[in-house]
Structure 1
Amino acid sequence: MEYLLFPGRHHVLTRFQAEFLQATAQGATIVWAVTSSNHHTTKRNPVPFDRREAAIERFSVATGIRSLVVGVTDTHATDDFADVTIKAVEAGTDDQVQLDPGNTVVACSTPEVAKLYERLGYPVIGVEPPGEPRPWDVLLLIAAGNDTWRELAHPATADVFDRYRLDAQIQRCVNDPVVGDDGGLTTTRDYKTYADAFETAADRKWQQIKDFLRPGRILDIGCATGATLQLVDADPRFHESDLIGVEVARHLYAECVHKKEQGLFQNPNVYFYQRNMLGSAVFPARSIDTTLTLALTHEIWSYADGSRPATVQRFADGLFAHTAPGGVWVNSDVCGPAEPDRPVVLELDDSDGANPADVTDLEALADPAAYVGALSTRARFFQFAHDFRRNASVPFEYSERGGKPVLRLADAMDFLTRKDYVDNWLSETHEQFCGLDFTGWCEIAKQAGFTIDPASKPWRNDWVITNRIAPVASLTSPDGTPVDWPDTHQLLIARR
């Protein structure tokens, strides 16, 4: 045996692994194929590859074994996983290491994965600690704040974790109530569509907010692809400012980092963090001059754990705490109508698509977007009601009068402002646009300690009304009186 291939995520190295590898290697080189090497700060992969690699190298020195560490990009479940890993090792060593069944033994304890290597002819040995927690179990002890993990982990892991405070990062990632296993808000979100939308809307939003920014440390929470920070970067007023982007979704964060690597920012002081701002404080008290939240606060409301009002208040309190005296919070987002509980009758076009007899379980379809896109506006309403209730956990109550839904104005606008989001229908029905009206958002900011600037206002997106909503829908009071289209958005300028 020339090589012992050891595939795995290798977030935690254990004392058992040290004993096993020392006894088994017998002069062979251990090839650590570190899978999901391009993932970090997610539930499934909370530790970055460079920290994992550092721990492996310290582990190798401490145990006296010879190691090669190769990162393997995350892949979807595939029967070609073993072959992908072998080729990744070749590429990661410039083809200097050629693994084959004649010179390599695979160390793997996952039966499904072991079979994939056996199918290629590789001998496989198990790495299962008898009666002891496995490495992932040790990581879960860290997430739970249980210090017994130190008795199981190898000192190399403990050393790297202590120096870089990775135990706190693991706890934050694994216990995060909002972010999914792979660093997204929902598993159904098409991030390419979102990225394109953010890029398209950046110029319009910048024109709305640019006069309210204060130079200094400028923070964009939910920065998406970093498009707004690019516009800040191009403004001479902010050449000496620090530009900081925080994005929770791994896919969007990666695009921000890619832009920076491409040299798309002139300012050298541009920094990106992948972080959920609902967790512990990220920035020191009174350290931020401008905080931007663009199309974000409705997500804070929608993905709240427990009480939604309490969660958005905690978020605003955190913003106030990190805002410097004289600093500003600029919030541009959707909001609910000023009379959310007003009863309205919603008349919807049923000639612009299909009208099935009942709603459908979209998760069971290969192409939910195609199905929803083929529905009439009226049929989409009933599908939306079904999906919105279960995904967003909202009542969304309505009755029918002559086939027309009768419901709250806020609920009607939640449907009308989202009915065309077919590409991300399942993701969008997790979110509530009209949970709070403009007055409600102002009260949240004032309760945190902010003063509301007179430039703050609710406003209506007339393009959406004229081009998307009015051609296929109308609102009336129960007595038949037409109801004006309400405000759909807010611009909140909150100062400390």
Structure 2
Amino acid sequence: MTEYLLFPGRHHVLTRFQGEFLREAAQGRTVVWAVTSANHRTTKRNPVGFDRREAAIERFSVAEGIRSLVVGVVDTPPTDEFAEVTVKAIEAGTDDLVRLTPGNTVVACSTPEVSKLYELLGFEVVGVEPEGVLRPWDVLLMVAAGNDEWRAVAHPATVDVFERYALDAHVQRCVNDPVVGDDGGLTTTRDYKTYADAFETAADRKWQQIKEFVRPGRILDIGCATGATLQLVDADPRFHESDLIGVEVARHLYAECEHKKEQGLFRNPNVYFYQRNMLGSAVFPARSIDTTLTLALTHEIWSYADGSRAETVQRFADALFAHTAPDGVWINSDVCGPAEPERSVVLRLDDSDGANPAEPLELESLDDPASYVGQLSTRARFFQFAQDFRRNANVPFEYAVQGDRLVLRLADAMDFLTRKDYVDNWLSETHEQFCGLNFAGWSAVAERAGFHLDPSSKAWRNNWVIDNRIAPVASLTSSTGDPIDWPDTHQLLIARR
């Protein structure tokens, strides 16, 4: 009789069949539950946190009368060394007290590809679910679909934990989320390190712009990224008795927020972070938030809308109004389109500052899209942007080529000019439309929700970007050749209840 039964898997759901199987298969062995993707939660692929999975396993073990050890294994990219990584993670997770070898361990696994990896290391592998038996992921999808028959298939331990922590609603929200990808990001192409660095760098500048409008009380930062703005709120003595709440949908950024909190980078003990898509459902009670911050967020709400963009941003603003307390404020600092988006303009771009290939490429086929886009001339980058923007953002982006002239809408010209230097996140950035609404459009969204605008609200132009990034390589004129002033690029919206 071997000493251990290794049972690897994500273990979001435990089933009644698994209970019957392990009662028979354990036979005095210690069952070692290798809970993979233990560092993931609130994603399509891994909606249930490790703590809840572990709680269900422990309750399952008591109910079935088996001895268990539960070890979390962090998520790893697909690798042929998965079995070896798991075994080593168990050694580390038990302080080397448990060393699994082919001589003392049998592996229980129903996934042929994974079973083969353990067999190559010399382990005996036994199957778990035979053909026709629902596997845990099948049951999880029943939960996501709202099919209550999952309760008859799931083990009572899972049913109990799901009911106590309302995990069925949580699973439905995560798995069915139209915006967030399998692993908790908005796109699979976003370089989150570059993205996080940009937010850290810009946080102080944005805080100087908005801090006079922030009301003490419950302060909510939606799309808080790495929590950098909340750190600045935390450092302001005016808010030392306020609750500071951050909501971030991207798993990578949410993890950094939690890491900062663990490091003690917030003095205020009342700092809380949620990983949540605010479009999915209401997060906060009605009239409970004194200040809501949305910094560089609303253009993403517009860009990643599920269905009608106008309806999606209105639904978002309506939800903000609903949770805003009387005399509370929504502060929105973001990009916006020009006042005259439909105006026809002539754009001329430098073609001497890089390469000019005959046609744009399919960047998804390249190992390093950033390097390729970075070596293009400004004019060549326009044609690459047009191809990628049409496909990724699902926008028309129409233009006419007349010699060195590009004739197009002013809003489309500015969408390119304000994004042309974002080469590190090119495929991700071309999912987003900066100029979908102008300041008047965003103001109307806020007013329809019930807010009234503070006189300090305004559209403004980032002159540093114009002077250093745009004007040196581009010119904007009317069809008759008259120069056109560069339009506003940003907005500050102070919406009060």
Paired with 2:81 and 2:134, the residues of 1 have a C-alpha distance of: 29
Deviations 1:405-459 (A, max 9, x none): 1100000000000000000000000000000000000000000000000000000
Q: Is the 8 A contact 1:221 1:247 kept in 2?
A: yes
Match of 2:289 in 1: 288
SS at match of 1:184: coil
Deviations 1:271-319 (A, max 9, x none): 0000000011000000000000000000000000000000000000000
Match of 1:119 in 2: 120
Q: Give the residue type in structure 2 aligned to 1:395.
A: P
Q: Give the residue type in structure 1 aligned to 2:196.
A: A
Match of 1:366 in 2: 367
After superposition, where does 1:139-218 map in structure 2 within 5 Å?
Answer: 139-218=140-219
Q: Give the residue type in structure 2 aligned to 1:493.
A: I
Match of 1:68 in 2: 69
After superposition, where does 1:255-334 map in structure 2 within 5 Å?
Answer: 255-334=256-335
Match of 1:437 in 2: 438
Match of 1:479 in 2: 480
Paired with 2:451 and 2:249, the residues of 1 have a C-alpha distance of: 25
SS at match of 1:311: helix
Q: Give the residue type in structure 2 aligned to 1:76.
A: P
Matched, 1:90 2:99: no
Q: How far is 1:52 from its partner?
A: 0.1
SS at match of 1:338: coil
Paired with 2:188 and 2:372, the residues of 1 have a C-alpha distance of: 19
Paired with 1:100 and 1:483, the residues of 2 have a C-alpha distance of: 74
Q: How far is 1:343 from its partner?
A: 0.4
Matched, 1:406 2:407: yes
Matched, 1:241 2:242: yes
Q: Give the residue type in structure 2 aligned to 1:389.
A: R
Q: Give the residue type in structure 1 aligned to 2:52.
A: R
Deviations 1:193-233 (A, max 9, x none): 01100000001000000000000000000000000000000
Q: Give the residue type in structure 1 aligned to 2:322.
A: A
Paired with 1:76 and 1:339, the residues of 2 have a C-alpha distance of: 47
SS at match of 2:376: coil
Paired with 1:270 and 1:150, the residues of 2 have a C-alpha distance of: 36
Match of 2:396 in 1: 395
Q: Give the residue type in structure 1 aligned to 2:452.
A: T
Structure 1 segments unaligned to the other structure (5+ residues): none
Q: How far is 1:182 from its partner?
A: 0.3
Match of 1:110 in 2: 111
Paired with 1:405 and 1:75, the residues of 2 have a C-alpha distance of: 46
Match of 1:380 in 2: 381
SS at match of 2:258: helix
Match of 1:6 in 2: 7
Match of 2:356 in 1: 355
Match of 2:41 in 1: 40
Q: How far is 1:132 from its partner?
A: 2.3
Q: How far is 1:128 from its partner?
A: 1.7
Deviations 1:312-339 (A, max 9, x none): 0000000000000000000000000000
Q: How many residues align?
A: 496
Q: Give the residue type in structure 2 aligned to 1:447.
A: R
Paired with 1:114 and 1:274, the residues of 2 have a C-alpha distance of: 34
Q: How far is 1:111 from its partner?
A: 1.0
SS at match of 1:71: strand
Q: How far is 1:130 from its partner?
A: 3.6
Q: Give the residue type in structure 1 aligned to 2:476.
A: L
Q: How far is 1:129 from its partner?
A: 3.9
Q: How far is 1:153 from its partner?
A: 0.1
Paired with 1:13 and 1:402, the residues of 2 have a C-alpha distance of: 66
Q: How far is 1:403 from its partner?
A: 3.3
After superposition, where does 1:126-141 map in structure 2 within 5 Å?
Answer: 126-141=127-142
Q: How far is 1:92 from its partner?
A: 0.5
Match of 2:233 in 1: 232
Normalised TM-score (structure 2): 0.99
Paired with 2:130 and 2:89, the residues of 1 have a C-alpha distance of: 27
Deviations 1:11-39 (A, max 9, x none): 00000000111111111110000000000
Paired with 2:264 and 2:128, the residues of 1 have a C-alpha distance of: 44
Query: Cα RMSD (Å) of the superposition?
Result: 0.5
Deviations 1:339-369 (A, max 9, x none): 0000011100000000000010101001000
Structure 2 segments unaligned to the other structure (5+ residues): none
Q: Is the 8 A contact 1:16 1:129 kept in 2?
A: no
Paired with 2:113 and 2:159, the residues of 1 have a C-alpha distance of: 30
Q: How far is 1:127 from its partner?
A: 1.1
SS at match of 1:30: strand
Q: Give the residue type in structure 2 aligned to 1:205.
A: K
Paired with 1:91 and 1:126, the residues of 2 have a C-alpha distance of: 26
Paired with 1:8 and 1:424, the residues of 2 have a C-alpha distance of: 33
Q: Is the 8 A contact 1:178 1:185 kept in 2?
A: yes
Match of 1:223 in 2: 224
SS at match of 1:279: coil
Paired with 2:276 and 2:370, the residues of 1 have a C-alpha distance of: 30
Paired with 1:129 and 1:263, the residues of 2 have a C-alpha distance of: 49
Paired with 1:437 and 1:254, the residues of 2 have a C-alpha distance of: 33
